[in-house]
C-alpha cells in the first residue's frame, strides 16, 4: 500500500497525469483568474464585458503603482476607468490570489 502511494506521488509530481500536466503548463495567474470567475467578464486578448487582460497590461505598463492600484480594484471593485459598466468587488479573494492574478496581468497575461 505504501509503494502505491509513493508511485502515485511520483506520477503526479512528475506531471505525468494528464490533468496535472495541463495545469502545470498554465501560469498561476491564469489559473487564479479562471478559478475566481474573472473570465466571465475578461478575456486574455480582447474586450468582453471588461477590458482584456492584455489591454490592462498595456494601460498600466511603466506605472510603478500599478500593482497596488489593481489589487485595490480587484478587491473593492470600481467604475469609470474602462467605461460605464462597473467591476464588482471581490472581497472573498485571498490576498495571495489577488496578488498572483494582478502580477500575471501586469506581465502581459501570457497563456504559457
What's the number of domains the chain is made of? 1
Query: In terms of residue numbers, what domain contains 94?
Result: 27-106
Residue 51 lies in a domain: yes
Average pLDDT, the chain: 84
Segment 1-55, tens digit of pLDDT:
444 444 444 444 444 444 444 456 899 999 999 999 999 999 999 999 999 999 9
CATH number at residue 65: 1.10.760.10
Measured distance CA(14)–CA(84) in Å, rounded: 47
pTM of the model: 0.77
**Cα 81 to the chain's mean position, in Å?**
20
Measured distance CA(72)–CA(10) in Å, rounded: 40
* Backbone Cα Rg of the chain: 17
Residue 81 lies in a domain: yes
Amino acid at each position: 500500500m505504501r509503494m502505491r502511494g509513493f508511485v502515485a506521488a511520483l506520477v503526479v509530481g512528475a506531471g505525468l497525469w494528464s490533468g496535472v500536466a495541463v495545469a502545470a503548463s498554465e501560469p498561476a495567474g491564469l489559473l487564479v483568474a479562471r478559478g475566481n470567475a474573472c473570465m466571465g467578464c475578461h478575456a486574455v486578448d480582447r474586450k468582453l464585458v471588461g477590458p482584456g487582460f492584455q489591454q490592462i497590461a498595456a494601460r498600466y505598463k511603466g506605472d510603478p503603482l500599478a500593482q497596488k492600484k489593481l489589487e485595490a480594484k480587484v478587491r473593492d471593485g470600481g467604475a469609470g476607468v474602462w467605461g460605464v459598466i462597473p467591476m464588482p468587488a471581490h472581497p472573498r479573494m485571498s490576498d495571495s490570489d489577488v496578488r498572483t492574478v494582478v502580477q500575471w496581468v501586469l506581465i502581459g497575461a501570457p497563456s504559457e
